[in-house]
Amino acid sequence: MNSLYDEILSALHSIWHRRWLALAVAWAICLIGWMAVAMVPNTYESKARIYVQLDDALAQQVGIVADRKRDIERIRQTLTSAVNLEKVVRSTRIGDNVTTPKQMEGTVLGLATDIKVVSEQDNLFRISAISSDGSLSDAENAQLAQDIVQKMIDIFREENLAGNRSEVAETLDFVNEQLAQREKELEAAEQRRLVFEASHPEMIQGGEASRRQLEGSRGQLRNIDADIAAAESAVAAIRGQLAGTPRTVAGAGGGGARASLAQANADLASMRARGLTDSHPDVIAVKNQISTLRAAAQNERTDDSVGMPNPAYSSLQSILADREASVQALRARRTALQAEISSLTANQIDNPEVAAEAQRISRDYDVLRQQYDKLLRDREELRLRGEVKTERDAVKFEVVDPPTTPRQPVAPNRPILLAAVLFLGIGAGGGAAFGIGQLRSTFATTARLERLTGLPVLGSISLNLTEAARKLRWRRLTYFFAGSAGLVGIFILLLAMEFVQRGMVA
Can you spell out the DSSP letters for 487-501? HHHHHHHHHHHHHHH
Distance (Å, rounded) from C-alpha 70 to C-alpha 73? 5
**Averaged pLDDT, 64-83:** 65
Residues 277-298 as b/e (b if ≥16 CB within 10 A, e otherwise) read: eeeeeebeebeebbeebeeebe
More reliable by pLDDT, 257 or 21:
21
Contact indicator for 334, 224 with CB cutoff of 8 Å: yes
Backbone angles phi, psi at 492, to 5 degrees: -65, -40
> pLDDT per residue over 365-394, tens digit each?
778 888 888 888 877 777 776 665 555 444
Architecture of domain 44-161+393-401 in this structure: 2-Layer Sandwich (3.30)
Radius of gyration for the alpha carbons in the chain, expressed in angstroms and rounded: 58
Taking each helix axis from N to C end, the angle separating 414-439 and 19-39, rounded to the nearest 10 degrees, works out to 150
What is the residue extent of each domain of the chain?
A: 2-40+412-505, 44-161+393-401, 210-361
Number of Cβ within a 10 Å radius of residue 208: 13
Q: Rounded to 5, what percent of the chain is helix, strand, coil?
A: 75, 5, 20
Most confident among 133-147, 172-186, 212-226, 363-377 (mean pLDDT): 133-147
pTM score, whole prediction: 0.48
pLDDT at 61 over 70: no
Which of the residue ranges 7-16, 307-316, 335-344 would you say has the lowest mean pLDDT? 307-316
Contacts of residue 9, Cβ cutoff 8 Å, sequence gap at least 6:
444, 445
Distance (Å, rounded) from C-alpha 402 to C-alpha 47? 8
**Averaged pLDDT, 109-138:** 84
Tell which residue, 85, 62, 74, has the closest CA to residue 155.
Answer: 85
pLDDT on residue 444: 61
Distance (Å, rounded) from C-alpha 137 to C-alpha 142? 9
Contact indicator for 411, 43 with CB cutoff of 8 Å: yes
Contact indicator for 117, 127 with CB cutoff of 8 Å: yes
